[in-house]
Amino acid sequence: MKALAQNRRHPFAGVVLLVLGLLLTGGMYALASTMNQAQAATSGTSYSAQDISEGEKLFNANCATCHGFDAVGTEDGPTLVGVGAASVDFQVGTGRMPMQMQGPQAQKKPAQFNDEQTAQLSAYVASLGAGPAVPEDEYLDTDHEDVNIARGGELFRVNCAMCHNAAAAGGALTRGKFAPGLADVSEKHIYEAMATGPQNMPVFSDANLTPEDKRDVIAFLKTIEANPSPGGAALGSLGPVSEGLFIWTAGLGILIGFMVWLTSRSS
């Protein structure tokens, strides 16, 4: 015990402890990095080394200007490390990325890349860190035997209708931003939007909405999209306020026009 106590007071004991601490910290970081890469490679769709390599080339040629090499981010674009394949598949697949111009939010437009190139870009970004994966076909099947459309409607009204409108027609937000209408949006892109929270949308992780919940919401959206407007012109499905305003304005205009016509006839 006396010899051990003397060794603890050795002048180089602090240096040895510092070196051991650095080695332990470095080892834990390397282990965490390896686990993170493994999780990114095994979550959702698995990508080949060739897909990742081709995706990196596409990224460097088209995306690195804003997002930086290795996707670490710049003043013009955020880091993409950890956003996952689903985020890239949504943003690139809907044409929102690459952005056409700076603005309050990225606009939907014809996609610049084909499906294969989009998958390669997704593979590269997914290899940088774990994140939401492209959804499996099981959770995009709105005809699945376990689909509950009524529950999907309830979930949509509670979580989404305040921005997207109860009829999913979209709506205005602040500072020139908006929640887009959800008609003619593919099942995959709706799911990815819920999982990644693009633009001003919050992220609905599996802890908030399970994959089955997301499938129910998609089924509800596709149901109301397929249903016609029984009352005639939907007027944007904005509700009784817009409909009342239209009736008031149109009706008042008709009355004024009729009065002008009567006055001209009497004179």
Binding site as annotated, residues for heme c: 63, 66-67, 160, 163-164
The DSSP line for the chain is -HHHHHHHT-TTHHHHHHHHHHHHHHHHHHHHHHHHHHHHHHSSS---HHHHHHHHHHHHHHTHHHH-GGG--BTTB---TTSHHHHHHHHHHTT-SS-SS-SSSPPP---SS-HHHHHHHHHHHHHHS--PPPPPGGGG-TT-TT--HHHHHHHHHHHTHHHH-TTS--EE-STT-EEPP-TT--HHHHHHHHHH--TTPPP--TTTS-HHHHHHHHHHHHHHHHS--TTS--GGG--HHHHHHHHHHHHHHHHHHHHHHHHHHH-
d(CA 216, CA 227): 17
d(CA 96, CA 182): 15
Binding residues: 63, 66-67, 160, 163-164
Considering only CA atoms, which of 61, 35, 51, 143 is closest in space to residue 89?
51
Count CB neighbours of 45 within 10 A: 17
d(CA 59, CA 132): 19
